[in-house]
Chain A
Amino acid sequence: MKKYPNIKIEPEYGAQDGYNEKKTTEFSTKTAPDIFQIETGSGPEYCRMGVLYNLSTLKNISFDKFDPNFIKENGQFGTGSQYAIPTGVAGSALIVNKTLADKIGIDLTQQYDWEQLIEWGKKVQAYNPEYYLLSVNTFNGVSFFVRTYARQLTGRAIIDDATKTVTLTEEQFTEIFDLIDRLYKSKTCAPAAYKAPYNPNKDQEDPKWINGEYVASVGYTSNALVLSEANPNVEYIAGCLPLLPNRKSDGWVNNCPQFMGIYAETKHPEEAALFLDFFFNSEEAAALLGTVRSVPPTAFAQKIVTENGSLDKLTAEAVERSLTYSGFDDGGLTTSAESEKILEEAYEAVAYGVMTPAEAAKDVIQKLNDFLARQ
């Protein structure tokens, strides 16, 4: 950097596959880079384990350009100090193949509930048994169906971090897994066996998506553009997301696609902060970064990408749609790797039909309690 000749930035590419595992090795051997990207779900766990530097103690970075509530909700992890910085504004999204939806007679632009979703799933099957309403795999199914439905049902995260207890009853888990069971039995979702070999958030690699055989893909706003580019022959829109009629929360989350953080063991915290300050607060960086990490997190950067045309219409629409829901982020013990694994296994067992919703609920409660007993 010309402005700071004493600082040398050495970037290193890190693929998403196995990213957290590589970070674990680096933390374990104290060889993590000074600055690194953090997956949203891993942020609270990293903070808890003490591998993130307390950014609030650094003088070389300012958070003035961020919306105070947004920065508080994304990166403080309930500590009152800033441990990570959100790289953008993102949220849950239903990217809809409008061309196909119109042909079948499904309107996903109007608010609907989970039962309506299943009815539409049946309608798609009646239209063509090879087609499905939703493309979703186990990983996303847990985030978007299990955890979201739980938040709508109880208004709380599945695990209460303060008391380290499970907030849902076995009956409530049974209700959630019953929904999963019906989503698969009605073929609203593509069969779990079909989706198994595909990586999460990569529907663009699924030939069925490319061929326009799904009405919608369940994912994040940051995936909107790449999904639309996989099959440019059809029209896409950002659809509404299902809600429970008597919900305690909208459930659907608006947070960020990733965080940036500074390694707790770094020898150069202020220099790292200088770079992050440039990364988030300079016009030059905002123009350079564009929308590679979804819609930028600050108003001034959003203005820049809108003016220079790098913010695509579909992503902007998906973010706008996502912001109409007032769900809350359940990041913490609920999104820890072990909780995710427990929920994914139960979800998969129900989706494959090898466990009843009641059995899955019982299994989840027992395993989550075992996990919490070790915390």
Chain B
Amino acid sequence: MKGSSLSKRNRVAYLYILPWLIGIVVFSVYPFFISFYYSLCDYNPLLSQHTFIGFDNYVKLFTKDSEFFKSLKATLLYTVYTVPSKLLMSLAIALMLNKARKGIGVLRTIYYLPSLFGGSIAVAVLWRIMFMDKGMVNNWLKALGLSTVSFLGDPKFALPTLSLLEVWQFGSSMVLFLAALKQVPNSLYEAAKIDGASSIKRFFSITLPGISPIIFFCIIMQTLNAMQNFTSAFVITKGGPLHSTYMLGVKLYNDGFKLYRMGYASATSWIIFSIVAIFTALLFISSKYWVFYSDEN
């Protein structure tokens, strides 16, 4: 009797998670595995035909496609520009808000707002208009007596300009840092103060280790986001000029949907996945040296 009532409970529980389960199988698990199969095929989506060609797509990417390396470089540079900047920015604002006594709710909301809008097409379009040669930013520079910059037309500036949009969306990391800072026991700071530790010493010896699990989490999540960037590069610059913002996400989109080489695009997506997986594994291995959990000695 007990067993059957437990199984009834289980059935109900499974029913509750069924919509999610169907969603993840149909929209994540199946595409995940089928994309690997497609990466081994010559697949034209218009013809709906795929021919198995083994690892030819991967070989071609690494040996014949110079665009792939330009794209990889742009993606890695974008990751290097955005991840540390975003983390520093969010940590700095979180530290500031952690000390604020009045209006913290309002300030937190204001700083979080860009994260709500940031990933949208509308903001990307707005960013494009703001940073055009005759856009608002250049008008400000002119008003200040400075020379204007071709933010989106000059290959040197296009990628940093896109990075700025990503860094601007620091709100979610900031909220996480703020929550983590609140969790660091005050007694540790008081003891360190009594021992004569300076504020810098307290930051590096108490604050940073105290929030290291959140730093670890944010690095992984931000790297994932940066490596998969598509919206801003596609909407603002279309990958140009001269491939300077041609992220892997844009390349795989163009290969798949414009050039009808879906197998080739799938191979690119698996390379992105492999890079992110390797990076995450390295980060996990290194974490035992710099991430501290309160339930560990």
Partners in one complex: yes
- CB pair B153–A49 under 8 Å, yes or no, is no
- CB pair B258–A337 under 8 Å, yes or no, is yes
- CB pair A196–B152 under 8 Å, yes or no, is yes
Would you give the 0/1 interface string for B230-265, flagging 1 where the beta carbon is closer than 8 Å to chain A? Answer: 000000110011100000000001101111101000
Complexed CA–CA distance, A337 and B261 (Å): 11
With a cutoff of 8 Å between Cβ atoms, the chain A residues found around residue B47 in the complex are: 49-50
A142 to B: closest C-beta gap in Å? 14
With a cutoff of 8 Å between Cβ atoms, the chain B residues found around residue A338 in the complex are: 259
- CB pair A194–B153 under 8 Å, yes or no, is yes
- CB pair A354–B48 under 8 Å, yes or no, is no
- CB pair A24–B152 under 8 Å, yes or no, is no
| Most A-side CB within 10 Å, residue of B133, B253, B262 | B133
- CB pair A193–B258 under 8 Å, yes or no, is no
Complexed CA–CA distance, A354 and B153 (Å): 14
With a cutoff of 8 Å between Cβ atoms, the chain A residues found around residue B258 in the complex are: 20-21, 24, 337, 341
Interface residues on B, range: 20 to 34
- CB pair A192–B45 under 8 Å, yes or no, is no
B contact face: mostly helix, strand, loop, or mixed: loop
Does residue A28 face the partner (Cβ distance < 8 Å to B)? yes
Would you give the 0/1 interface string for A335-352, flagging 1 where the beta carbon is closer than 8 Å to chain B? Answer: 001100100000011001
> Which residues of chain B from 152 to 190 have a CB within 8 Å of any chain A CB?
152-155
> Which residues of chain B from 168 to 227 have a CB within 8 Å of any chain A CB?
none
Return the contact of A197 from the options B45, B155, B236 (Cβ within 8 A): B236
Return the contact of A24 from the options B45, B128, B154, B237 (Cβ within 8 A): B45
Known: A196-B237, A348-B240. A341 touches B45 (CB 8 A): no
With a cutoff of 8 Å between Cβ atoms, the chain B residues found around residue A196 in the complex are: 150, 152-153, 237, 240-241
| Most A-side CB within 10 Å, residue of B47, B153, B155, B254 | B153
Q: A190: nearest residue on chain B (CB-CB)?
A: B133
Does residue A195 face the partner (Cβ distance < 8 Å to B)? yes
- CB pair B128–A197 under 8 Å, yes or no, is yes
- CB pair B48–A21 under 8 Å, yes or no, is no
Q: What are 23 A-B interface contacts by the 8 Å CB criterion?
A: A24-B257, A24-B258, A24-B260, A27-B48, A28-B46, A28-B262, A51-B46, A193-B133, A193-B150, A193-B153, A194-B150, A195-B153, A196-B153, A197-B128, A197-B131, A197-B153, A197-B237, A337-B258, A341-B259, A348-B240, A348-B242, A352-B242, A354-B242
Knowing that A21-B257, A24-B257 are A-B contacts, what are 8 other residue pairs whose CB atoms are under 8 Å apart, sorted by A's residue number? A25-B45, A27-B48, A49-B46, A193-B133, A194-B150, A196-B153, A197-B152, A352-B155
